[in-house]
Chains A and B, each alone.
Chain A
Amino acid sequence: NAGVTQTPKFQVLKTGQSMTLQCAQDMNHEYMSWYRQDPGMGLRLIHYSVGAGITDQGEVPNGYNVSRSTTEDFPLRLLSAAPSQTSVYFCASSTGGRSPLHFGNGTRLTVT
């Protein structure tokens, strides 16, 4: 099993550009989520999904969209990048909300 795979590992965007962070898991987990990590702020939940076709907002959803068309994939879209979205983004999957999270290796995004 590859576990949770995130691409790209690094990305630099200009303000106003859009892009999609990819996340795929091969563990047949129903639960997937996106977190952002900023210094001193811990891991903050952006969006999550409890199964294909179902998504919901987390603590900091503004400026991001998600979709879950398959169990395996959970892409995160930045609609119009802003410098405040400079961060490290982690995708995670689990069997449920009360189960261990399996994190991807992260995407380091810089918006200039």
Chain B
Amino acid sequence: GENVEQHPSTLSVQEGDSAVIKCTYSDSASNYFPWYKQELGKRPQLIIDIRSNVGEKKDQRIAVTLNKTAKHFSLHITETQPEDSAVYFCAAPRNSGNTPLVFGKGTRLSVIA
């Protein structure tokens, strides 16, 4: 089955700076890579996802890049704001076929005003 490693576990940035979180996966057949944001006491919510047929996807201040050769994908947040403070999780399909997602252990991002 898939193994997803996420780094760093904590990240502090100054407001306005960029933040990058990286995940590696083990199954070269994996083809769907979402990122979820979880604010304190709330449920995880999808913020962006990418499929293996593209290398990058952007949505305003957030972007995800995928390197299939190296088997890693990264979340980029530009011009960080205090409301970006949260725990971020990456995920990948558990294995081939119509199987559910396995998640990384999360990154706690703190944006310091």
Contact = CB atoms under 8 A, between A and B. Distances in A.
Contacts of A59: 102
Contact of B98 (A44, A97, A104): A97
A111 to B, nearest CB: 20
Given A41-B105, A42-B89, A42-B106, A97 B100 contact: yes
Interface stretch (B11-19, B43-51, B63-71, B72-80): B43-51
A96 interface: yes
A97 B97 contact: yes
Nearest to A48: B100
Interface residues of A, number: 23
Interface in A29-55: 31, 33, 35, 40-45, 48, 50
Interface residues of B, number: 26
A105 to B, nearest CB: 5
Contacts, number: 59
A74 interface: no
Interface in B1-51: 6, 9, 31-32, 34, 36, 42-46, 49, 51
A33 B9 CA distance: 25
A43 B44 contact: yes
Contact of B44 (A41, A58, A98, A103): A103
A106 interface: yes
Interface of B: 6, 9, 31-32, 34, 36, 42-46, 49, 51, 89, 93-94, 97-106
20 contacts: A31-B98, A33-B100, A42-B6, A42-B89, A42-B105, A42-B106, A44-B103, A45-B94, A45-B100, A45-B101, A48-B100, A58-B94, A59-B102, A90-B43, A97-B100, A98-B32, A98-B51, A101-B36, A104-B43, A106-B43
